[in-house]
Amino acid sequence: MRVFLVVMDETKEARSSLRYASRRAAAVDGAVHILALVPQQNVSAFGAVQATIEQEARDRAEVLAHGAAGNLLAESGIMPAISVRVGNAQAMVKEFLADHEEVAALVLGAASGSNPGPLVTHFSAQAGTLPCPLYIVPEGYDEMAEKRGD
């Protein structure tokens, strides 16, 4: 089964990439996997405080991913798998791709303006070394509006 990996956060471009991935998955009888990333905290002086901050960030990421999954299920009938990883975003995506050969495409959302975002910048420069195709979806892209002629 073809799996489309989407890196999820609270941005409009992430929502656009999730919609795009869900349509691609539905077209090929595939699946969607949401990867929610939590940045590693650098508050080493107070270990308990750092652990609390990281747990709260992880909880927020899980709520966000589950909310996006619920919306996706309601819109397309596809229930995505969800993973939450803590650490450097680029490293976590690379590690995930290395561990999951079933991923058929990495789908990232690009922010509007001159800076598309750190993941798009990083992975577009590394596209030739990725184990799967890289899809970059512009912020606000609506494939259905294009088909309707909006």
Residue the block writes with tokens 């890196």? 7
Domain count of the chain?
1
148 belongs to a structural domain: no
Q: Residues 3, 33: contact at Cβ < 8 Å?
A: yes
Stated length of the chain: 150
Q: How far apart, in Å, do the first and last CA atoms of the chain sit?
A: 33
pTM of the model: 0.85
pLDDT of residue 150: 53
Q: What CATH number does residue 32 fall under?
A: 3.40.50.620
- 99 contact partners, CB below 8 Å, separation of at least 6: none
pLDDT at 5 over 80: yes
DSSP state for residue 45 in the 8-state scheme: T
Per-chain mean pLDDT for the chain: 87
d(CA 19, CA 75): 9
Q: What is the domain range of residue 57?
A: 3-138
pLDDT at 45: 59
Q: Is the pLDDT of residue 81 over 60?
A: yes
Q: Which tens digits make up the pLDDT trace of 106-150? A: 999 999 988 999 999 999 999 999 999 999 999 888 766 556 555
pLDDT at residue 75, as a whole number:
84
Asked whether residue 147 is domain-assigned, the answer is: no
Judge whether 67 lies within some domain.
yes
In a domain, 113, yes or no: yes
Residue 146 lies in a domain: no
pLDDT at residue number 41: 67
Q: Give the whole-angstrom CA distance, residue 19 versus residue 50.
A: 34
In a domain, 50, yes or no: yes
